[in-house]
Amino acid sequence: MNEFLWPVRVYYEDTDAGGVVYYANYLKFMERARTEWLRELGFEQDALRDEEGIIFAVRAVEVEYLKPAHFNDLLNVSVRTLRAGKASVTLTQAVVRDGQTDPLCLATVRLASVDAATLRPKAVPGRVARAIAQTEQTAAADSSATYIE
């Protein structure tokens, strides 16, 4: 998986009186894509929480807003693994209008694997870590994209 893509339609709920997608809502779109990326890798987050006792918490985000998205736009939100650590994963994500190439929004997102009860760092379970590491290797081989860092 070089790059995972998840389609997101812009509804009225996502826009603001400026006529464009409200800046906080891109973080919702990105979290949807991350959830679907994990599902594609074979992991349901409710099962990870209930069976492995871990949840992925966002520790830091860096977001660049380049061009606005509008009501009714169909967007594609990407997920790429930048670094996978023992109890953390750093991803880069882009929001691109369907059929276009220039990103509207770029982000780097640092996730921590934490204990679902105590919220303290807890190692990513082995099979999850291995699946994510594989996306990292493929991502490293592809140098076509530039992201904020």
* Nearest distance in Å: CB 17, its own copies: 4
For the question of residue 16 being annotated catalytic, the response is: yes
Angle at alpha carbon of residue 24, lines to 97 and 144, rounded to 5°: 40
For its own copies, the closer CB: 24 or 140: 24
Burial class of residue 137, CB neighbours in 10 A (0-12, 13-18, 19+): exposed
* Nearest distance in Å: CB 48, its own copies: 10
* Nearest distance in Å: CB 21, its own copies: 9
Handedness of CA 34, 36, 38, 43 (dihedral sign): positive
For its own copies, the closer CB: 123 or 148: 148
For its own copies, the closer CB: 64 or 142: 64
Do 47 and 96 meet the contact criterion of CB atoms below 8 Å apart?
Answer: no
Which residue(s) pair with 78 in the sheet?
A: 5
Which residue(s) pair with 76 in the sheet?
A: 7, 96
Catalytic member of 14, 16, 50, 73? 16
Q: Where does this chain bind its own copies (CB under 8 A)?
A: 9, 11-13, 15-20, 22-25, 27-28, 31-32, 35, 44-46, 55, 57-65, 68, 70-72, 119
3-state secondary structure of 38: helix
* Nearest distance in Å: CB 24, its own copies: 4
For its own copies, the closer CB: 17 or 141: 17
Catalytic residues: 16
